Each structure stands twice: as structure tokens, then as C-alpha cells.
Amino acid sequence: MDRIWAPWRTVYIGKDHGDACIFCEKLESNEDAKNYTILRGDKTFVIMNLYPYNNGHLLIAPKRHVGDLTELEPDEVLELGQMTQRMVKLLRSAFNPDGFNVGANLGKIAGAGIPGHFHIHVVPRWAGDNNFMPVIGDVRVISEGMDMTYKKIMDALAKENQD
């Protein structure tokens, strides 16, 4: 049997993450780099997914704790859309992916891991990024550590702000 070593993932495995909302916790914290918070808008904010499907997998959420798309105010919906556009552009600059998956899971049965706080997923995709590992081994291979991915995204954000 071949082994894939990813020791940096041990901090997530088998931990009791409690009932607290991770979005609200990260929003209340001022440790953005530690929490992989990318950007804060007026109504929304962006964080990296700690359990990514691919490098650069981002989560965009309203600042207000609201669980369903239909509960959002018009200005929150507008900023969510604008922030999603901005993050797609930013990820193109940082990683040059071949495409993206952009979407939301409404409700636990639809796959929402955090059904109490609405969020949008932005997942960069590359040709050949989905191989036999998820099918045969029920394992995803993430080729880059979170800190390096965060640095690349923040570098692209700094470059965007200079332009």
C-alpha cells in the first residue's frame, strides 16, 4: 500500500469542533492570518476552507449569522455576488486554474457542513485534478499546505490593491 503523508492535517482529525459557528468565531477574531481570513467587506467576508477540495478553496459568507439564502437582505446578496466575482478573479491571478466550481449547499441533506450560516464555495479546478484517489481511496490529495496557499492568495490581493 502506498502512503500519502499530510501531517499538517492532524490538527483537524478527530477534534471536537463543538457547536459554535466557525464563521462567527473567525469574524469576531482579529487573527486573520491564523484563521486564514482573506478579506472583510461591509456585509461579507472570505475565509479559506480548512477542509478544501482543492488548493485555494474559499468560503464567502455574510457577516450576519443567517442560515438560508432566502433570509439574506438585498445588500447582502449583492455583496456576496460581487465578492464571489472578486475572488474568482483573485484566484485566477494567484493560481491560474482551468475553471471553477462556485455554489452553495442549502441544508444538511444538500451537503451543508455548516447549515446555520449561509456561505458560497469557490473551488479552483485544473485539468486532471480529480484522479482515482477520491473514488478508490476515499481520499483527496491536496498538493499544497494551507500557509503557502494563504500566502499566494494574499500576495495576489496585495497586487490587486496596487493596480
Question: Which residues are catalytic, by number?
Answer: 119
Query: Is residue 58 a contact partner of residue 49, using CB atoms and an 8 Å limit?
Result: yes
Look at the block and give the residue holding cell 478553496: 57
| CA–CA separation, 22 and 70 (whole Å) | 21
**Closest by alpha carbon to 126, among 112, 144, 109, 110?**
144
Look at the block and give the residue holding cell 441533506: 109
| CA–CA separation, 22 and 24 (whole Å) | 6
Between 74-95 and 146-162, two packed helices, what is the crossing angle to 10 degrees?
100
